[in-house]
Chain A
Amino acid sequence: MQFITKINSRAYTELADTETKKILDKLADKSTSPEAYRSVMFKLGVKLGNSILKSINSQSNVYLACTVEDADFLAKGILTTLEPKVSKLAFACFWNQRFSPFEINELKVAPILKKYQEPVNNDIVQYLIVIKSIISGACVVRTNLTNLIQKIEPEKILIAAPVIYKTAEEKLRSEFNKDIYSQFEFFYFAKDSTRDDKGIVLPGIGGSVYERLGFEGQDEKNRYIPEIVKSRRHKLVQKI
């Protein structure tokens, strides 16, 4: 990933045009309402989708995976951009519970409480795309990616997020063996190098994504069934 500008503790990649930077500022702005925040996430999803489209072969099968909080916003933006342009697109959504056992901050674990996973049948998956609103410790991405590659053997793994923390790429690679991490390609607009004492990336995406999107914390987001999951499940049922 090439970096073209650096402002304070943030470095923008070549994927971030002027409009994208403005959108990222809106994301970081604490006064942005949840409704506007959701819309901003969707727009960033579209922009990430367009960046990904330039790098992949359109005659390919794509598997897109996200977490529940990102499904109707960031992931939907990417999905609606990619789906009409590729041969086939399947989708997975994960409900993770991120926590530190016995409040030991050094320990981070994010088990999958439930998942929605569309079948790939016997199709070869060229691209597995894992989406996240922000990647910092990479715990959730690692957990979900590990789960996905039990059943899917992609030719390439794309990790996409609007913003990542400076050590996230290295951290994620270090959790996998070379045969897996050599397939990684990262797509992001900005890399931040500061975290507060609670581990929140600054300016990042303006704090905790759950609250910013309007969820009342982790438990509520884990009770939520995204509209995109409902509609895709409905379509799948009709096909059977």
Chain B
Amino acid sequence: MYQQEQIQELFGNEVLDYLKNKNKGGIVNEKGNTYENFFAVYKISVLSKDVLENEKQIVLASQIMAFVDDLIINDIQENIYQHYQLKNTASLTWGSGLRSIADDFAKQYNLNQTVSKQSEMTLVVSNFQLRDRLANQIPQQIAEFSKVDYFYFASSLPKVLQEEQEFSQAVAYLCAFDNPEPDKIECVASVILGAWLSSDKSNVSIREILEKSRQSQPSYIRYFGSQDVQIDPEVKKILDQIQGFTYSISKGFLQWLKII
């Protein structure tokens, strides 16, 4: 995404060393069930509809050589990089100077300009009061392209899904069933998380993550084709004869109910 030479040329050796250490630390400390990864699954889920229905090309990156790299969404058609910095803490300031969030945002913006990309920077926090305070204090020099968002924090994905309605609704869209029960939503989200964690997070498209997720057994992820699969007429004949048995074909899955 970015060349070390570009960074060195733009900001000098001290900043390059800072980025190298930052990147190394991020990779070493990486675990699966983290605030950053849950947020990535949320974004993947929310953006999937556009990817599947409108053939939107979106590539993700994380923990790369960049100033704001918890998650980077590269919207290829719109030529924009959306950068997310996540902080699960109760106290935080924008700060100033090298290693501060404000400076990281400003430098990231400059770096994106040199690669002819538009920028959008978002600081994501897990505390409403903190979000409001930081949103009111965005430094002037980054205000034009920066904002602050809230995302719920919990140590387990199902708990996050319970609290973030938009997240669970987006996952439900990807699920094979209409009105899926919580266990199916959790399964789909966990499978996407697994696909994300086991992908090359420096450069992977949402479509690739979704295709990979569907390989998991079970995945409960919908069929991605525009036309649903058809049931074999012979099989249909047999199923139709079973008393108290109802079924439907939806998004590539057969769902059935047998009333006693």
Contacts and interface: CB of A to CB of B under 8 A. Distances in A.
A97 B218 contact: yes
B206 to A, nearest CB: 17
A107 B193 contact: yes
A66 to B, nearest CB: 16
| Interface bracket on A | 20 to 34
Contacts of B33: 106-107
B216 A143 contact: no
Contacts of A99: 218
B181 interface: yes
A177 B154 CA distance: 12
A135 to B, nearest CB: 16
A150 B162 CA distance: 13
Interface string B201-221: 000000000000000101010
Contacts of B186: 109, 111, 143
Contacts of B187: 109, 111
A111 B32 contact: no
Interface string A210-240: 0000000000000000000000010011001
A147 B162 CA distance: 13
Most buried by A among B31, B194, B197, B220: B194
B99 interface: no
A174 B32 contact: no
B61 interface: no
B197 A237 contact: no
A110 interface: yes
Interface of B: 31-33, 155-156, 158-159, 162, 181-184, 186-187, 190-191, 193-195, 197-198, 216, 218, 220, 260
5 cross-chain pairs, A with B, having the tightest CB-CB distances, nearest first: A101-B194, A102-B194, A111-B187, A106-B32, A109-B190
27 contacts: A100-B194, A101-B191, A101-B193, A101-B216, A102-B191, A102-B194, A102-B195, A102-B197, A104-B32, A106-B31, A106-B32, A107-B33, A109-B186, A111-B183, A111-B220, A112-B183, A142-B158, A143-B183, A146-B183, A147-B181, A150-B181, A150-B182, A174-B155, A174-B159, A175-B158, A177-B162, A233-B260
